Amino acid sequence: MDKKNVQFAVMGAFLAICVLGFVIHGCATVTSTDTGTSSGNYTLSGKVGTVSSSGLKAYAVTDVNCVVAIGANNSKTLVTPESNGTFSVKINSGQPYVLGFFNKTGSAITLLGYLKKSDYDWDSLPIIDPADTATDLGTVEINTTSVEATPSINITSLIDEMNMDASTADLYGKIDDPLTALTNLDLDGNGEFDFNENKNYLFQTFIGMYESGNPDTGEIDSMLDGYNDTYKPVPSFYQMYFSNFGSGDSRSAGTSATLTPPSALGGALTQTATTSALSNGWTLFFPSVMTPILAPSGAYRVAMGSTTYTISNFNSSDIVTINANNNIIYPVFHLVTNESNKITKVQYAWKKLVNGAITTAEAAQVKAAINYDASDTTAATQNPFISFFSGANTLHQPAGGTGLFLLNIDSAEADVSALNIAKSDIHHIQAGYELTSKVICKFDLY
């Protein structure tokens, strides 16, 4: 089997794992429709200022009648500003948040702007490991033409409150662009917030990464000798992924869907896929492509039956463009064996590519780049992860387990002794994680 066929055979197995792993991880929903208050351990506050269209036309602050904080775990918290434009929203720290400013009138929901800080190209707030428990954004000026909301808080104060230094803030700004897609809260266009109808959508990019050249490159052998710390991931293909969690939009497995991107993907103006059913929702993986080298920004539309879902403001991150070799943060591994040559532990360290050169990733950079929830210790719903295959499509699974082993970013090893396997039992190893920007990355190691 040639490299391309091996790659796509492995992909089929990984898609099944995604249903257990990455997909479930992003399904949490917290909704509040209070008039100005909410609950959580972190407070974002501010005041809506001028709402204008390229500075040509000003609107009253009452045009913003909904402020919604959307977490990277797809949670949503909605508050209504006071009559003078002030707002305060309580959320739970530990992840990035997109802050959207909406007008909901009758059967129309309009995104007027999402919070953006251009100094470091932040399209979201990295409330991942904050220094305190609150941030006052100051006055937020909204431009409805660019759909951007700019807070008056200065960038130095903001990155201090996010507990970051300038280099980490810069890295985060290069990663977080795809989070803008989370501002789409009425994808089916029926004039109601999706989360109030038990609909919970995610539109993401899935990136495949592998060592250039023949896949049988000896990474597993090098993991037995020590860390495979010369390994460099190379983004080689991507595909668009769309899912729903919640009973408000049920579909049978095998339902056909058509994706229309802003411009051609893989030379095609549309793509088709069929749904895979989850226990509470459905998922779509559209065909993988290598062109253009970066998923086009703009509006994507998914037609399924009589419904067309519109995802506006989608943006890609050039960190994971095809053949990119800069700012990619990724794990390398060492397989620890016992006297019977059975693998008992996976030790791991985080690396970073800097213009193709391998460096050690700083802990703050890992936290800024990798989506991780320390409170969730269930391997089947957690990323990052590592898994072992006995064949191209056969996953090693311990009794009562999923075969996905959690990589805690605050630790350096994982116990895999329950598998009771030796190197000779392994066809390949698969590792993956989700960036804080909701981009899914997957590695195949042979």
**SS in 3 state form for the chain?**
CCHHHHHHHHHHHHHHHHHHCHHHHCCCCCCCEECCCCCCCEEEEEEEEEEECCCCCEECHHHCCEEEEEECCCCEEEECCCCCCEEEEEECCCEEEEEEEEEEECCEEEEEEEECEHHHCECCEEECCCCCCEEEEEEEEEECCCCEEEECCCHHHHHHHCCCCHHHHHHHHHHCHHHHHHHCCCCCCCCCCHHHHCCCEEEEEEEEECCCCCCCCCHHHHHHHCCCCCCCCCEEEEEEEEEEECCCCCCCCCCEEEEECCCCECCECCEEEECEEECCEEEEECCCECCCCCCCCEEEEEEECCEEEEEEEECCCHHHCCCCCCCCEEEEEEEEECCCCEEEEEEEEEEEEECCEEEECCHHHHHHHECCCCCCCCHHHCCCEEEEECCCCCECCCCCCCCCEECCCCCCEEECHHHCCEHHHCCEEEEEEEECCCCEEEEEEC
Q: What is the model's pLDDT at position 3?
A: 40
Query: Region 79-88: what's the mean pLDDT?
Result: 96
Tokens 């609909």, residue?
199
pLDDT at 57 over 90: no
Range with lowest mean pLDDT among 8-17, 178-187, 267-276: 8-17
Q: Of 30, 143, 133, which is closest to residue 79 (Cα–Cα)?
A: 30
Report percent pLDDT > 70 for the chain.
86
pLDDT range class, residue 9, cuts 50, 70, 90: very low
Q: What are the tens digits of pLDDT across the range 238-282?
A: 999 999 988 899 999 999 999 999 999 999 999 999 999 877 899
pLDDT at 64 over 80: yes
Q: What are phi and psi of 161, to 5 degrees?
A: -70, -25
Q: What is the model's pLDDT at position 363?
A: 95
Give the C-alpha separation, 109 to 193, whole Å: 8
CATH 2.60.40 fits 329-445, yes or no: yes
Q: What is the model's pLDDT at position 296?
A: 96
Domain boundaries of the chain, sorted by first residue: 33-196, 329-445
Range with lowest mean pLDDT among 66-80, 201-215, 321-335: 201-215
Q: What is the CA radius of gyration of the chain?
A: 22
Q: What is the model's pLDDT at position 6?
A: 38
List, in order, residues 6 or more apart from 26 with CB less than 8 Å away: 72, 73, 74, 202, 434, 438
pLDDT at 18 over 60: no
Q: Are 297 and 304 in contact (CB under 8 A)?
A: no
pLDDT range class, residue 382, cuts 50, 70, 90: low
Higher-pLDDT residue of 363 and 73 is 363
Q: What is the model's pLDDT at position 22?
A: 40
Mean pLDDT of the chain: 87
Q: What are the tens digits of pLDDT across the range 279-323?
A: 789 999 999 999 999 999 999 999 999 999 999 999 999 899 999
